[in-house]
Amino acid sequence: MTTMELDACKMQLIRDILAIDSSETLDKVRTCVKGLLSGNASFDKPTRVPRIVEEVLSDVEIGLRDIEAGRVKSSEEVFKEMEVRFPWLCE
């Protein structure tokens, strides 16, 4: 990645952070960034023990009801939003 591309990515990250309108979300971002910069963050390992089958099935049923009720965006809509919000991921 060139210096110019790196600077562009940094500026986009700054814009994304400035767009955060929740103190809770901002605290999570701050914690993640501090962990990454200190070398203490690990995103490889799961942070929660896998749930029992009943919980998973319950979540699936809730999701299916949301789909049937029209409360879920199509995958095409989600991908279009992702392309707009995170264009560097689509390069």
Contact 29, 20 (CB under 8 A): yes
Asked if residue 36 belongs to a domain, the reply is: yes
Range name among 49-58, 60-69, 82-91 with the lowest pLDDT average: 49-58
Rounded Cα gap, residues 50 and 22, in angstroms: 28
Kindly tell me if the per-residue pLDDT of 48 is higher than 80: no
**65 Ramachandran zone, left/alpha/beta (phi>0; psi -120 to 50):** alpha
Q: Residues 37, 55: one domain?
A: no
The token duo for 76 is 């095409």
First and final CA of the chain: distance in angstroms? 12
Between residues 49 and 52, the one the model is more confident about: 52
pLDDT band at 11 (very low <50, low <70, confident <90, very high): very high
- Structural domain including 68 reads 51-86
Residues 6+ apart with CB under 8 A from 82: 89, 90
Asked if residue 91 belongs to a domain, the reply is: no
Q: What is the mean pLDDT of residues 44-58?
A: 71
Average pLDDT taken over every residue of the chain? 83
